[in-house]
Amino acid sequence: MMTTLAALLLSTGITVTLPEQTTVSGTDMKLGDIALVRSDDEALAEQVRGLNLGYAPAPGYNRTLRQWKLQQDVEAAFPGTEVVFTGASVMRVFPKTATILAGEIEVAARKAVAELLEGEEYRASLRGALKDLQVPLGDKSRRLEVDLKSRRREAGAWSVPIRVMIDDVQYSTVWVSMQVDIFRELPVLKRDVRMGEEIGPDDYSIERVLIDTALTKTPVNGAPEYGALAATNLVAGNVLFENDLKYALFVEKDAIAKLNARNGSVEVNVMVIVLEDGRLGDHVRVRSLSGDKEVTARVTGKGSLEFNLKVDGPVTHRKVNS
């Protein structure tokens, strides 16, 4: 005479046997990962094995499952199916783990920094020690991803986000703290300069400078323009920034200046009224003394400007009230 269990095994129902404990890989788990599922109908058994039980425990933790709750879940997912649970009434699930070495994390961070700073001369160092990371053992793959596209190419303390991907799903993010120093060719003062003094080519040199923090000011790009004056007292050995300088005005608004006007081979010098302040090289509006013509001219020296009809554009004619 068949026992009740044997009769059930020969029926089209499902028998689920739970061990007292087991281990799983990946970040989520299915019934078939933790229990033995049997049925005469193998297709049905395979469906039951695929029942999703949610998250798998993280390394260092376990998950407790109860037989009565699992039976409820199976019966709800497969209504009308005879379900029998055997084995442990309570079971514990532990994760299978893998180790991502601290060295792997560092390599990923350094590679991302190198890609972002391609073409720069720099050095990067860790701000603190990294630790090995315990992660779930994936069913398919495990990799590290880094995206620094939104990071600016500047020196300072960096936090590099390392995404840990398990089976193509982000498991966690490890933040790697690094100090990034960038070497730049910058103008450096050779001597102390007092406020208001003119700064010429002999007062600075282009040197290789180590930048260890984000620059909040803009370094002078190349040689300071002619007529550059110190905006404040400056100290030898410091980098020369744009806001360290002010520039003398070579023409001033409402002043009379000399305009050299050219049109092809024709060249004339006339006196004009300057309509706006201008430094050397600036383009400013000027007006004829008669008031009937305006042009945009380039400042070429103290009180002098230049206008080339073919380069600087047309003459604007103005109606003058008599």
Residues 73-121 pLDDT 10s: 999 999 999 999 999 999 999 999 999 999 999 999 999 999 999 999 9
Q: Is the pTM of this model over 0.85?
A: no
For residues 298 and 283, give the distance between their C-alpha atoms in angstroms, rounded to a whole number.
4
Q: What is the pLDDT of residue 224?
A: 66
- Residue 235, Cα to own-chain centre: how many angstroms? 35
Counting residues of the chain whose pLDDT is more than 70, the rounded percentage is 91
Q: What is the pLDDT of residue 9?
A: 42
Q: What is the pLDDT of residue 7?
A: 45
> What Cα–Cα distance (Å) separates residue 192 from each residue in 222, 232, 234, 265, 273?
19, 11, 6, 48, 39
Tens of pLDDT along 270-281? 999 999 988 888
Kindly state the DSSP code that residue 108 receives in the 8-state scheme.
H
Strands 169-189 and 121-126: antiparallel
Instruction: Indicate whether 299 pLDDT > 60.
Output: yes
Within 8 A by CB and 6+ apart from 259, the residues are 269, 270, 271, 272, 286, 295, 297, 304, 305, 306, 307
Q: Which domains, ranges and CATH numbers included, belong to the chain? A: 12-95 (2.60.480.10), 99-182 (3.10.129.10), 184-247 (3.90.1210.10), 256-317 (2.30.30.760)
Instruction: Indicate whether 57 pLDDT > 90.
Output: yes
For residues 285 and 298, give the distance between their C-alpha atoms in angstroms, rounded to a whole number.
9
- SS3 label, residue 319: coil
> What Cα–Cα distance (Å) separates residue 104 from each residue in 21, 287, 309?
32, 70, 65
Instruction: Indicate whether 308 pLDDT > 80.
Output: yes
For residues 123 and 114, give the distance between their C-alpha atoms in angstroms, rounded to a whole number.
10
Phi, psi of 26 (to 5 degrees): 85, -175
Place 5 in a pLDDT band, splitting at 50, 70 and 90.
Answer: very low
Instruction: Indicate whether 186 pLDDT > 90.
Output: no
Q: For residue 72, what is the enclosing H or E element?
A: helix 67-77
Q: Which range, of 20-29, 133-142, 216-225, averages the lowest pLDDT?
A: 216-225
Tell me the average pLDDT across 232-251: 87
* Nearest partner of 41 among 17, 72, 9, judged by Cα: 9
Place 10 in a pLDDT band, splitting at 50, 70 and 90.
Answer: very low
Residue 216: is it exposed, middle or buried by C-beta count within 10 angstroms (0-12/13-18/19+)? exposed
Q: What is the pLDDT of residue 312?
A: 67
